[in-house]
C-alpha cells in the first residue's frame, strides 16, 4: 500500500482521485510512526521548493525519509526535494541526489512557467516506465527544473534546455511532470510504481 507523505505542501486531491480510479490502495503518512504501515511512498508537492522543504523539516520526518529503503516517488516539487539544492528560495533540499534544481530562463520563445504537455524521452530501461513508449507526452507545470545528469536521469525532456523529467537512484524515483494529470500513460506510471 502507498503512503502519501503529508507535510502541508500542496493539494493532493488529484493524486488521490487518480489512485482511487486505478484501484490502488493508499493512506496518509503524517508522522514518523506512520511509515511502517506502508510498503512504498509518494512525496507530492506543488508551489515553492524552499517553503516545501521548510514545512517538511517542521514535521520531523526528514531523517526518516532519507533512510527509506522501500520504493519512494517524488512528484513535481516532491521530486525537487530529493535534490541537493534549489535556486527557489536558495534552499538546501534532502540531498538524496547530488544534483541541483535550477530556474528556467524566461524568453520570448520559452515562457516560464513551463506549462502543458511535453514529450518525455525514456533514457534507461526501468520498471517505472514499463509499457510507456519512448516519446510519450506528460503534463508539466514548473518554473524550476532538475539539471540533466546522465548518472541519475531516467527520462529527459526539452524546454529551452534538456532537463531531467524523471530521476532514479536505488529505491528513490522522481518525476517532474504530474502523472495524475497525464492521462493514460500517467496512469500506467502510477500503476507501475504500485507494482515495483
β-bridge partners, 43: 74
Catalytic-residue membership of 137: no
- Residue 180 near residue 169 (C-beta atoms within 8 A): no
> Which one from 48, 76, 114, 142 is the annotated catalytic residue?
76
Catalytic-residue membership of 85: no
| Whole-number Å distance between alpha carbons of 173 and 22 | 20
Catalytic-residue membership of 178: yes
DSSP H helical segments within 22-167, as ranges? 49-59, 62-66, 77-80
> Which one from 88, 114, 142, 180 is the annotated catalytic residue?
180
> Which one from 32, 114, 178, 187 is the annotated catalytic residue?
178
Q: Pick the closest to residue 152 from 100, 99, 95 (CA basis).
A: 99
The residues assigned a catalytic role are 76, 178, 180
Amino acid at each position: 500500500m502507498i503512503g502519501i507523505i503529508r507535510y502541508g505542501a500542496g493539494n493532493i486531491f488529484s493524486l488521490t482521485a487518480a489512485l482511487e480510479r486505478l484501484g490502488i490502495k493508499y493512506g496518509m503518512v503524517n508522522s514518523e510512526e506512520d511509515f511502517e504501515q506502508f510498503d512504498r511512498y509518494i512525496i507530492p508537492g506543488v508551489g515553492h521548493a524552499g517553503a516545501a522543504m521548510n514545512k517538511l523539516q517542521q514535521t520531523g520526518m526528514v531523517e526518516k525519509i532519507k533512510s527509506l529503503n522501500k520504493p519512494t516517488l517524488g512528484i513535481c516539487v516532491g521530486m525537487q526535494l530529493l535534490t541537493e539544492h534549489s535556486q527557489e528560495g536558495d534552499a538546501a533540499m534532502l540531498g538524496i541526489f547530488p544534483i541541483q534544481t535550477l530556474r528556467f530562463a524566461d524568453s520570448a520563445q520559452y515562457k516560464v512557467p513551463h506549462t502543458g504537455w511535453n514529450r518525455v524521452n525514456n533514457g534507461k530501461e526501468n520498471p517505472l516506465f514499463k509499457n510507456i513508449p519512448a516519446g510519450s507526452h506528460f503534463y508539466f507545470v514548473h518554473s524550476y527544473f532538475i539539471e540533466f545528469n546522465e548518472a541519475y536521469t531516467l527520462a529527459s525532456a526539452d524546454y529551452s534546455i534538456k532537463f531531467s523529467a524523471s530521476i532514479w537512484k536505488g529505491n528513490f524515483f522522481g518525476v517532474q511532470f504530474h502523472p495524475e494529470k497525464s492521462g493514460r500513460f500517467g496512469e500506467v506510471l502510477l500503476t507501475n510504481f504500485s507494482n515495483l
